[in-house]
Structure 1
Amino acid sequence: MTSTIERTTDWIAACAVADLEPGWAEVALMGDRMVAIVRVGSEEVYAVDHHDPHTGAPVMARGIVGSRGDRPTIASPLHKEVYDLGTGECFTDPALGLRTYRTRVVGGMIQVEFDA
């Protein structure tokens, strides 16, 4: 007997791409989660947990957006740990990691994927 496990997800609209300035982040309350939505390029958008992995404070949308080579990053505004926006990897402390969410742009709207 073979069983199949299906992973179900929901795409939830956060805001219009035009609502965000490139190189800037805003926080969105999506269900019971606070998510930092980060616009890097014209339609290059990332979503990460709004809570700082080191302190637990809800501050990541106020982080410093930048890059390491071709990898977009965000640095915590509190202790300046630098995280890869795509993977959540912390460049400055390998013990830390920032939760990331998949994003897409549909009809000019940013959508974030969550487990259903």
Structure 2
Amino acid sequence: MHRDMQTDKWIAVCDLAEIVPNTGVCALLNEVQVAVFHLDDNGTPRVFAIENYDPNSQAAVLSRGLVGSLGERIVVASPIYKQHFDLQTGECLEAPENSVGTYPARIAEGKVWVGV
């Protein structure tokens, strides 16, 4: 369920410095939990946002997962059953039918912004 959103509405989630590099946090945006990840790519910060709800475990836990890579893909491993979710597409690598939606994310003025 990849959501490729074009958006005119961006919400500031927090200062980039508030998210430890290579980890995630949960943000409540329009009553939906969104997992927001800050990656440090050799000194260049990048941010990603996906749905926080893990359909495999039926729990809102993806923001607490471990961030890493599988081949060329940047992923988060769910903290419960360890399925991997691609941070760019939301695809669940082990069970594509349980993929999650993605949100546009960017860094501007030292803050993390997510498009809704």
TM-score > 0.5 by shorter chain: yes
Partner residue of 2:54?
A: 52
What stretches of structure 1 of length at least 5 have no aligned partner? 1-6
Q: How far 1:100 moved relative to its partner?
A: 0.9
**SS of equivalent to 1:111:** strand
Q: In 2, distance between residues paired with 1:11 and 1:54?
A: 29
Q: Which has the larger radius of gyration?
A: 1
1:23 paired residue number: 22
Moved more, 11-20 or 68-77: 68-77
Identity %: 37
Give the alignment's TM-score, normalised by structure 1: 0.86
Give the drift of 1:8.
Answer: 5.2
Which runs of structure 1 show a deviation greater than 6 angstroms over 4 or more consecutive aligned residues?
Answer: none
Q: How many residue pairs align between the two structures?
A: 108
Query: Bigger shift: 89-98 or 102-111?
Result: 89-98
8 Å contact 2:7–2:115 — kept in the other structure? no
More strand by share: 2
What is the TM-score when the length of structure 2 is the normalising length? 0.86
Cα deviation 1:26-84 (Å, max 9, x = unaligned): 11112211111111114201111111122331111111111112321001111111010
RMSD: 1.4
**Residue type matched to 1:21 in 2?**
V
